Structure 1
């Protein structure tokens, strides 16, 4: 009887989390759940994004961030980084699986890729530290 109740609970829980998308065995990390965001180019005085990012909680996203070497430049967004689960940061083929991020910085030209799952709905931003211009930030909405 206990096994039947446990099985019924597991089936009910699975149905409750079922979505129109079949995520497969990897769940949130499966390929069908991945969305590539537009590349972010870090260049002194240039805008960071053409449009705000509209993300969906539970979706897996990847973004490439490239610095052109025009200056030491970074991105800060503590609230945003606390609203996501960072799967990995890839720099020159090296995969880093951090517990969390606070900010990133490029001293020279280069590219990094960040893979993450959006978790906490809200409004956030990534901003070049010390900047005040609206074009020096990326507005992010997690729904």
Structure 2
């Protein structure tokens, strides 16, 4: 009988630890953001350059991403499937904080930047691109695990 109790206690302890991860952390997870490498469109070497072709992300981790364009090419940054798979906390651009449910497009007609604060909630592989310039290489992927 004592062996049965010890086994049961060990099973209960192991069972209580399974699944214990960041989602059980105290506080507002959306406020503890991890900065991603900047996503820059255009460079001195090429008007069609993209600084990052892929971002590896995890669900339940809050991120901030600065998106910028050098203004050499007009860029309408879009990631429609990705926008549907995240919790968008806010967007900061030009000294303004924008609260929105989703992000349709960041349009860079000239040089500029915007910072996106978000939390991935659905795993998958999601393309991002400058609309109409994908064939010039202005595209990449968000991979969420």
TM-score higher than 0.5: yes
Give the equivalent residue in structure 2 for 1:35. Answer: 34
Distance 1:87 1:21 in 2: 17
Structure 1: gaps of 5 or more residues: 1-14
Larger Rg: 2
Length-normalised TM-score, structure 2: 0.76
The list of structure 1 runs, each at least 4 consecutive aligned residues, that deviate by more than 6 angstroms after superposition, is none
Cα deviation, residue 109, structure 1: 1.3
Give the equivalent residue in structure 2 for 1:60. Answer: 62
Length-normalised TM-score, structure 1: 0.77
Cα deviation, residue 133, structure 1: 3.4
Distance 2:66 2:88 in 1: 14
Distance 1:45 1:69 in 2: 9
Asked whether the 8 Å contact 1:49–1:138 carries over to 2, the reply is no
Structure 2: gaps of 5 or more residues: 1-16
Residue number among 107, 111, 127 corresponding to 1:109 in the alignment = 111
Aligned length: 127
Distance 1:20 1:62 in 2: 18
Give the aligned CA root-mean-square deviation in angstroms.
2.4
1:124 to 1:56, Cα distance in 2 relative to 1, 3 A: same
